[in-house]
Structure 1
Amino acid sequence: MLTALVTTVTIILMGFISGAILRHMFPNQVQRLNFWCTRLALQGAIPLSLLAAIWQLHHLSWQLFLLTIVGSLILLSGGGLAAFLAKWLKLSPSQTGAYIPAGMFMNIGAIGCFCVYLFLGEDGLALVPLYKLFEEVIYYSIAFPIARRLGQYSQQKQRPFWLDPFLLTTLSAVSAGFILNGSGLARPLWISDVMQFIVPLGTYLLMITVGLVFRFTDITGLLRPALTLAISRSILGPILVIILAYLFQLWGIHQGLLVKVALLLSVMPTAFLSLLPPVIYGVDQKIANSYWLISSLWFLFIFPIVLLLMHFLFL
């Protein structure tokens, strides 16, 4: 467990630092580097890893899709919690417009996939697409409209979420994985070796994109709202997972694998996507940057605790 934890932190930090170094070395190429790293990760490494993981998943059943309900409720609860805290902390409309989406967005695709793969293996990774099945629907139909309503402007027309190329690539890969799984065709043994490379590669590439564009800002006045949301969400998430696990009787499905996946993903830091509403809609940039940084740092503290909780629950 310790080795996997160190590997997780190392990949995240290496990607972020690499991005910062590349930004310093090639300041005029940041946009191009960001484009290619994002493409390689979201239309290459991550979809391929999901396809391969689903291909080898055994004993598929309708019960697995209960994980979709759990994942959707976790995402929605993050936004609801942020809305409550924004009112309690008396944030301005501009700050609230960045705060609620940040509370809803979670880094499931990069850090989430990598953590699940390291600690739960390929069977766990194969369940991640089910957990995040309605992720884009929630983001584009709820989070972004909230930011738009509370923002000052919109710099670009948003395409329908169902035409997003990254979403289409992921759905294609997941569908292909289920088709191959149902075909009875055995997955080649060498793919397991490839998986050990492409899963961390996807995380590393996306962390490079963060390092390329992230700017540290003064968070002194925004530490309280950022830390309050990060701590509250990391407590609410696992509690909600445990309640839903009892409600849906998930403990015995795949030896509790659905619960384990949901527990790990419920404490993921906010996604890099949370930095986009200020750019697109003119909501508060500083609170978005502050929460991204605090959420990521808090994740390094809370994740080992959740691993211990998971070990205790499945003794």
Structure 2
Amino acid sequence: MDWERILLVFTDILLPLAAGYLLKIHNLMPQKACDWLIRFNVVVMVTVLTLMSFWVLPLSAQLLWLPLIGVLITAVPGVIGARCFAGQFDNELDRGAYVISAMLSNIGTIGGLCAFILYGEEGFAYVQLVAAPQNILMVAAAFPMAKYYYEKHHAAKRKAKLQLSFREMFITWNQVGILGMAAGILLQVFGVSRPPALGVLFHNLVHVLAWVSLLPVGFLIDFGRARFYYRKVISMLWLRFVIVPVLFYLLFKLLFTDKVLLGSLLLLAATPAAINSVITAQLYKLNVDITIASFLLTTVVFVLVVFPLFFFYIHFGGRL
């Protein structure tokens, strides 16, 4: 079972990324097909899986801290990124891409796997509760933020005043995943049991979701263009691996005493930039290369430096 989980890193993360990249360099998939996959993922797959997961999500008062922490792990880095680091860029499309990369972290995939390696099923379960709001936050917070920067850029080009309505920001097909969350919660509140067959379907759809979401990311990766932004996103390393973990460590020490929970949450606070930041940038025509540079740089540093240090510290009895 452990080997099967580790194998998912290759089958559900590396393979779809590689497949998308190969489809691009060999001209086997047009850009329109990539854009269609992105929309299908956001509108259909995220909605269905959100409904099914919230249908059985535990809603006890004690565990409600964890989804709240999931919200804070998205909001706090986004605010810090916007206030302290995004100003280095010359236009709103670049600033927006940086802020989105700061907001969205790779909790569900890399965070879940690493927590499982460190703490087993208990750590993995904690991660899922923190990760539960991530898809909702992508459509409820990151998408409107991306729309804001997109419209601000074009208002500046027209030398016109920025005008955004509530509908333009929050009521689009990209936000339909919120309805899935609401439907799942209502089904649980009213005591409607999820059929066992849907549980089996959910586990199969997770793998489909991985391919539908990651294959377009592989297609969008351009190593040649992303390399021009590595130096500009170096600050993302400080934000992801120093500033945010320190801030949240202080909060976690006040709230929790369980070492497995504390370690799992601290690990999540230091996860790299999310793949979903690339999807968001593509949807709203921000600078995709900045999100790709952030994703690649933070992921490599996390896998090669941050997680090994954390692993050996915990393994040899370090105190949190």
Q: Distance in 2 between matches of 1:165 and 1:55?
A: 22
Question: What is residue 197 of structure 1 aligned with on the other side?
Answer: 204
- Contact 1:102–1:270, Cα closer than 8 Å, also in 2: yes
Matched position secondary structure for 1:18: helix
1:207 shift after superposition: 0.7
1:144 shift after superposition: 4.8
Question: What is residue 51 of structure 1 aligned with on the other side?
Answer: 51
Q: Distance in 2 between matches of 1:314 and 1:199?
A: 35
Question: What is residue 273 of structure 1 aligned with on the other side?
Answer: 277
Normalised by the length of structure 2, the TM-score is 0.70
Amino acid at match of 1:298: V
- Structure 1 portions without partners, runs of 5+: none
Q: Distance in 1 between matches of 2:226 and 2:136?
A: 34
Q: What is the correspondence of 1:230-269 to structure 2 with a 5 Å cutoff? A: 230-247=237-254, 249-251=255-257, 260=264, 263-264=267-268, 267-269=271-273
1:117 shift after superposition: 9.3
Q: What is the correspondence of 1:50-89 to structure 2 with a 5 Å cutoff? A: 50-58=50-58, 60-82=59-81, 83-85=83-85
Q: Distance in 1 between matches of 2:38 and 2:153?
A: 31
Report Cα offsets for 1:252-277 as digits up to 9, x if no partner: 6xx97698367436514234435765
Matching residue within 233, 236, 259 for 1:226: 233
- Contact 2:102–2:236, Cα closer than 8 Å, also in 1: yes
1:15 shift after superposition: 0.9
The 1:149/1:185 distance shift into structure 2, 3 A limit, reads closer
Matched position secondary structure for 2:132: helix
- Structure 2 portions without partners, runs of 5+: 159-163
RMSD of aligned C-alpha atoms? 4.3
Report Cα offsets for 1:65-100 as digits up to 9, x if no partner: 43454333322332344342456xx55456545433
Question: What is residue 165 of structure 1 aligned with on the other side?
Answer: 173
2:313 matches 1:290:
no
Amino acid at match of 2:273: P
The 1:107/1:195 distance shift into structure 2, 3 A limit, reads same
Matched position secondary structure for 2:234: helix
Amino acid at match of 1:52: M
1:19 shift after superposition: 1.3
Q: Distance in 1 between matches of 2:73 and 2:33?
A: 34
Amino acid at match of 2:128: L
The 1:191/1:132 distance shift into structure 2, 3 A limit, reads closer
Deviates most, 15-24 or 60-69: 60-69
Report Cα offsets for 1:9-64 as digits up to 9, x if no partner: 5421111111123334555633124313541x334444333333333344x23454
The 1:303/1:163 distance shift into structure 2, 3 A limit, reads farther
Percent of aligned positions with the same letter in both sequences?
19
Matched position secondary structure for 1:225: coil
- Contact 1:74–1:240, Cα closer than 8 Å, also in 2: no
2:152 matches 1:145:
no
Question: What is residue 179 of structure 1 aligned with on the other side?
Answer: 186
Question: What is residue 161 of structure 2 aligned with on the other side?
Answer: none
Q: Distance in 1 between matches of 2:51 and 2:279?
A: 29
2:188 matches 1:212:
no
What is the total number of aligned residue pairs between the two structures?
304
Amino acid at match of 1:48: V
The 1:10/1:286 distance shift into structure 2, 3 A limit, reads same
Matched position secondary structure for 1:226: coil
Q: Distance in 2 between matches of 1:184 and 1:297?
A: 44
Amino acid at match of 1:129: A
Q: What is the correspondence of 1:92-171 to structure 2 with a 5 Å cutoff? A: 92-93=90-91, 96=95, 98-107=97-106, 124-125=127-128, 127-130=130-133, 133-140=136-143, 142=145, 144-146=147-149, 149=152, 153=157, 160-168=168-176, 170-171=177-178
